[in-house]
Structure 1
Amino acid sequence: MIGRSPIICGVFKLLAFATVVTCLPPQRSQLTESQLSALVDSHPPFPALNPNYYTTATTASNLSAQSVSDRIGGGNAGETLALLTPMLIPRAPGSDNATIIRDFIKGHFHGLSNWTAFTDGFTATVPEYGGIPGALNFTNLIFRLTPPGTDHLPSRYLTLVAHYDSKISPFGFIGATDSAVPCAILMYLAESLTPHILKRWKSDLGAISDDTGLQIIFMDGEEALVQWTDQDSLYGSRHLAQLWESEKKVAQFGRLSTLQEIDLFVLLDLLGAASPAVPCFFEITSWACRGLAETERRVRNAGLAKANGQKPFIRTDSVMKNAFVDDDHMPFLRRGIPVMHVIPIPFPVVWHTMNDDGAHLSSEAVHDWAVLITGWVAGYLGLGDFL
Structure 2
Amino acid sequence: MEELVGKILVVDETHGTNPYKFQLLTILVVDDNRRGWPVDKTKGNLNINCVITDDDSALINSMNESFDSELIKSMNMGFSKKLRHLLCNWHENLNLKVPRDLVQSMLQKLKVLINCKDQNLFSQLCEGFIQKYPVDSKTSTYTDYFKKHYMNRPEKWAMCNRNFPHGEGIESFHHRLKKVHLKSKVNRRIDDLINVLLNFEWEDHCACEREACHGVSALPQHILERHERGIKISDTAVAEVLDQTWEVNASSSSSSSSSSSSSSSSSSNLQYVVVQNAEECYADLCFAKCTNGSCPGLCSHMYSCSSPDTHPLHKVHAIMLPIFLTWLSPRISTAVHVHP
The TM-score by the shorter chain falls in which range?
Answer: under 0.3
Q: TM-score, normalised by structure 2?
A: 0.24
Bigger Rg, which one: 2
The structure where helix makes up a greater share of residues is 2
